[in-house]
Structure 1
Amino acid sequence: MAMASSAELMQAEADLVRHSLGYLKSMALHSAVKLGVADALHRCGGSASLPDLLATLPLPPSKQPYLSRLMKVLATEGIFVAEEGVAVANGGDGATCVYHLNTMSRLLVNDAGINGGSAWKLSSCILMTTTPQIVGSALQLGQWFQSDREATPFVMANGRPPYGVAAHDAEFNSAFNEAMAADSRYLADLVVRECGEVFEGITSLVDVAGGTGTMARAITKAFPHVKCSVIDLPHVIQGVSAQTDNVEFVAGDMMEFIPPADRILLKYVLHNWSDEDCVKILTRCREAIAHGEKEGKVIIIDEVVGSRSQNILEAQLLMDMQMMSLFMAKERYEQDWNKIFTEAGFVNYKIRPILGVRSVIELYI
């Protein structure tokens, strides 16, 4: 191999620095969400100079000089747009930087008016993935790779698996539920918009591991003729009313039983589980649709790794690392999905890569 040039060496060093400090991107995003930067820009009409932004954020005077450094990182990463050298009419004596919302940062705004009347609150998802428990599990990856222990990196960091921590830690459980609800609101709007036909002509649907019912409520709102049931663990649905908005809640274990219905929905469930457990879950799903009133179908919303988009592929591979860290589970390529579908007794399936990092998969007996 030829000796690298000085320019190549310096570029390689810069790339190593960028990768080794990449966690600061996550922490900068976490900080922006905690501060409510996107909401502040929205209140200012979608853009604001740094002085105007400072006037709307709850920062003590001693920290105000540092905000520009946070915003520069976030703008460099494309989360906000920075317009340099803009003259401002706020009594200043020169040009300053004006920050604007873009498509990405609009997803962080909690006001329903900005996203077509839906308060998705995807900021909750950012707060969940940057909790001390989740970040702490990532810090255990190096030790986990060298260890013979069966414990996941998350268990090594926290002493319990994620659902065990959620059952004993009200703050973590709340963060988890809020993130899942936000993701469900966002996905429900997209699913109804992009592939609502999968819910047409049916009378019943079971949302497996559907949490507090956000996805199910969105489906019944768009399709009032569909009766939805949500099955999840007792501590997840604890405190949720027994039935509301044509949605029924059932405490149970999806490994043991899933109520019969025309459609069974698995939204972001199977990537949490091993292939063997996925086969068990899908077997219960097959039994449930076999006893439904109409020709049954299983609808899976999950990742199918292998996008041609570099950004989407990178997001899928990072999610794969997270699933490994949290559950010793994985995101799957199509050949992986085909294997577990066949073992669970399904003959036909159709994959529709229409939800960004995620796809809609339809399973037929």
Structure 2
Amino acid sequence: MCIYCSINSCIIVITNKWAKKMDPNTISNENSKELLDALTHIWNHTFSFLNSMALKCAIQLEIPDAIQKHGKPITLKELANSLSIHPNKTHSLYQLMRLLVHSNFFIIKKSTPNQEETYDLTLNSQLLLKNHPFNQSPFAILEMDPIITESAHHLDEWFKNENDEDESPFHMIQGKKIYEHISSELKFNDLFNEAMSCDSRIISKVLVNSSEFKGLVEGVESLVDVGGGDGTMGKAIAEAYPEMQCIVFDLPHVVNGLQGNGRNLTYVGGRMFDAIPHAQVILIKWAFHNWSDENVIKALKRCKEALPNKGGKLIIIEMVMGIPSDNVNYSNAQLLIDMQMLSASRGKERTEQQWKSLFLDAGFRDYNILPILGPRSIIQVFPA
């Protein structure tokens, strides 16, 4: 029997097995538990969007800031008063906080004289504080903006399209690509830039204090941060390595009006698909996952042209799908963001083999991967 026949036989056996289980007249106790577990699994995924909405509500109500301002763990009544919430809605606030505690954004303590429950911050909610140096609220609000989430409601419609004219679900719904929308809507453009900056703030600090990154840039005289936005990453590197000449390279409308430090940081406008300023190291953070393989290869070739053959390297900060990790949150984040890329720009997170194919097609000779940034990795790529 061929392998395909064997597989089909197995599928038939499994299907018949479950068909019997679904017969209401033959459901055993074991079958009942399995069915209820499956039902609960469906519920958890059906209602999981409310985790996002609860987080969005907490940010917009400024609950983390209210707890910080209180100066100590806060009771539910104190929290309601500080948020100017009507007393009749205090129990509703309790429902919200109960979910946010379950999601590990807050923690319950017994810290009053009568052992009343109080709420305190966790590290997760500290990263939502307005005055926190690594505040991630802009990123969260951007990704939960209705104009972003609406696209995901039309994934089935996009998949059913017989033609490929609509680049992404976002393009199909909005009539333009996401980057066209960003550049045309001032308020959304500001939110996008702020979101990218807050991500760069935390990653840049992790990098400049990382022994692995120090090893990557030791002795480097020049570096170009491609797609560097307002220069958050470039500034951090320039300050950490004052002998290194750093260029922040992005679209003209992004860098227009931005000033360097007059020493080792400058801004240059342009498109990475046309040409990239020459440097010993080119850094690209979280940009390629927005683009098709064809566009990534085009940009990689521009990178190769801008690098010296000897001593030059490309440093990419991106996800590498499938790298083993003991942290299940990393793989969950990768899978979810991969779907977000599909919905917003028809981009994708790539496996090591997919990255390797792109590098070889663009003319690079070798690479290595350092999985040291949580769900993301540092990929070093070397020209031929």
| Cα contact 1:205–1:227 (8 A) shared by 2 | yes
Residue 215 of structure 1 pairs with residue 233 of structure 2 = yes
Residue 52 of structure 1 pairs with residue 70 of structure 2 = no
Which residue of the partner structure matches residue 363 of structure 1? Answer: 381
Match of 1:108 among 128, 153, 174: 128
Deviation at 1:183, TM superposition (A): 0.4
Match of 2:65 among 35, 39, 43: 39
Q: Which amino acid in structure 2 is aligned with residue 357 of structure 1?
A: P
Deviation at 1:106, TM superposition (A): 2.1
RMSD: 2.0
Match of 2:98 among 54, 72, 85: 72
Which residue of the partner structure matches residue 156 of structure 2? Answer: 142
Q: Which amino acid in structure 2 is aligned with residue 339 of structure 1?
A: S
Deviation at 1:173, TM superposition (A): 0.5
Residues 10-43 of structure 1 deviation map (CA, whole Å, 9 limit, x = unaligned): 2221221111111111111111111222222223
1:318-357 equivalences in 2 (<5 Å):
318-357=336-375
Residue 131 of structure 1 pairs with residue 145 of structure 2 = yes
Deviation at 1:46, TM superposition (A): 5.9
1:167-186 equivalences in 2 (<5 Å):
167-186=183-202
Residue 267 of structure 1 pairs with residue 285 of structure 2 = yes
1:352–1:81: structure 2 CA closer, same or farther, 3 Å change rule?
same
| Cα contact 2:73–2:111 (8 A) shared by 1 | no
Q: Which amino acid in structure 1 is aligned with residue 171 of structure 2?
A: V
Which residue of the partner structure matches residue 179 of structure 2? Answer: 163
| Cα contact 2:80–2:86 (8 A) shared by 1 | no
The unaligned stretches of length 5 or more in structure 1 are 113-118
Deviation at 1:95, TM superposition (A): 4.8
Deviation at 1:244, TM superposition (A): 5.6
What secondary structure is seen at the aligned counterpart in 1 of 2:77? Answer: helix
Residues 265-309 of structure 1 deviation map (CA, whole Å, 9 limit, x = unaligned): 000011111111111111111111128xx7211110010112433
Residues 82-122 of structure 1 deviation map (CA, whole Å, 9 limit, x = unaligned): 34xx3634xxxx6543222222222222334xxxxxx1111
Residues 118-142 of structure 1 deviation map (CA, whole Å, 9 limit, x = unaligned): x111111101110111111111112
TM-score by length of 2: 0.86
Deviation at 1:235, TM superposition (A): 2.0
CA distance in 2: counterparts of 1:10 and 1:140, whole angstroms: 29
What secondary structure is seen at the aligned counterpart in 2 of 1:265? Answer: strand
Residues 157-189 of structure 1 deviation map (CA, whole Å, 9 limit, x = unaligned): 222111111111111111100000000001001
What secondary structure is seen at the aligned counterpart in 1 of 2:147? Answer: helix
Which residue of the partner structure matches residue 115 of structure 1? Answer: none
What secondary structure is seen at the aligned counterpart in 1 of 2:268? Answer: strand
| Cα contact 1:220–1:245 (8 A) shared by 2 | no
1:189-338 equivalences in 2 (<5 Å):
189-194=205-210, 195-241=213-259, 246-290=264-308, 295-306=311-322, 307-308=324-325, 309-338=327-356
What secondary structure is seen at the aligned counterpart in 1 of 2:38? Answer: helix
